[in-house]
Amino acid sequence: MITSSSDILKWANSRNIAVGAFNVYNFEGVKAVVEGAEQEGVPVIIQLHPASLERGSKPLIAMALEAARLSTVSISVHLDHIDRIESISEGINAGITSFMPDGSGYDYKENVEFTRLCAEEIISIGGFVEGELGRLSGTEDSVTISDYKALLTDPVLVDDYVIKTKINALAICIGNVHGKYESEPKLDFPRLYKIRETTQLPLVMHGASGLSDEMILQCVLAGISKFNVNTELRQAYISGISEAVNRDITDLLSIMNLCVDKMREIVVVKIRQYSLRHNL
């Protein structure tokens, strides 16, 4: 059933666990996320990145919303990394109520202003707003941040940012990066604890691909409620195609199914990690 991101994060919070927010680009992606969540019987967030919308636009949103409606578990559909204010009304008109206005490329004051303006529109329809304080390094789709050094979230600014923007969840930067980690991820946990002391809002970890089991556990215990996963799903999709080629599979439906299977496996592993059920 379709639900709000707020309700999903409340559900996670009341159990001291986290949920997965998975970026998808097409039907196979949507199917893999829904099936993985249904298999595990937990809520999940389907995320659409602006780059996926350029390709799929409204039909992709409609498909994700309908898949959420038809599902046996609670699912919300979230627009990730919005960098144009117009995308908010476009998303609302297409049926979306959950957004991440991404002002992280701006300086602090501009970030507050961009996020506040977007939030005003989202809140007017009773929607959910995720804001980002700090800036993630790395590359995601067409969003490349040349300053490769992460600009980490400053705990001192958190309270001011939350009050001024009226966001419902905060994406934090503690050394997490989008895309592939070039070396062993190093997360600044003391910074995360300070942020957690400053705000009760749900905290979001972008760049969750490539984090070890141990790190994910530490993040959940430290108060991360939402993990964003894109790269590992994309890799799974591509590995499905490679395997099909290597095995001389030429039937299109078989190739699609293989890709869904590969992505669903990742979704299930992540869901178990986020809900602290590694050993089940």
**Is 13 within 8 Å of 202 (Cβ atoms)?**
yes
Reading phi first (left if > 0) and then psi (alpha if -120 to 50, else beta), residue 143 is in: beta
Binding mask 210-249 for ligand 13P (x = CB under 6 A): ------------------xxxxx-----------------
35 contributes a contact to ligand 13P by CB under 6 A: no
Which of residues 32, 134, 140, 174 is near ligand 13P by CB under 6 A?
140
* Angle formed by the axes of helices 27-40 and 50-70, nearest 10°: 40
- Is the Cβ of residue 82 or residue 158 nearer to ligand 13P in the bound state? 82
Kindly indicate which of the ranges 66-74, 183-191, 202-210, 235-243 contains the residues binding ligand 13P, using the contact rule CB under 6 A.
202-210
**Is 67 within 8 Å of 100 (Cβ atoms)?**
no
173 contributes a contact to ligand 13P by CB under 6 A: no
- Is the Cβ of residue 44 or residue 255 nearer to ligand 13P in the bound state? 44
Binding mask 5-34 for ligand 13P (x = CB under 6 A): ------------------x-----------
208 contributes a contact to ligand 13P by CB under 6 A: yes
- Alpha-carbon gap, residue 222 to 276, rounded angstroms: 13
The identity of residue 33, as a single letter, is V
**Is 17 within 8 Å of 276 (Cβ atoms)?**
yes
Which of residues 28, 35, 40, 80 is near ligand 13P by CB under 6 A?
80
Pairing mode, strands 224-229 and 44-48: unpaired
Phi/psi for 216 (5° steps) reads: -60, -45
213 an active-site residue? no
**Is 95 within 8 Å of 66 (Cβ atoms)?**
no
Kindly indicate which of the ranges 9-17, 145-153, 162-170, 204-212 contains the residues binding ligand 13P, using the contact rule CB under 6 A.
204-212
The identity of residue 129, as a single letter, is V
209 contributes a contact to ligand 13P by CB under 6 A: yes
76 contributes a contact to ligand 13P by CB under 6 A: no
274 CA to centre of own chain: 13
206 contributes a contact to ligand 13P by CB under 6 A: yes
Choosing from 80, 141, 213, 261, the catalytic residue is 80
The identity of residue 274, as a single letter, is Y
**Which amino acids are annotated catalytic?**
80
Residues near ligand 13P (CB under 6 A): 23, 80, 140, 178-179, 206-209, 228-232
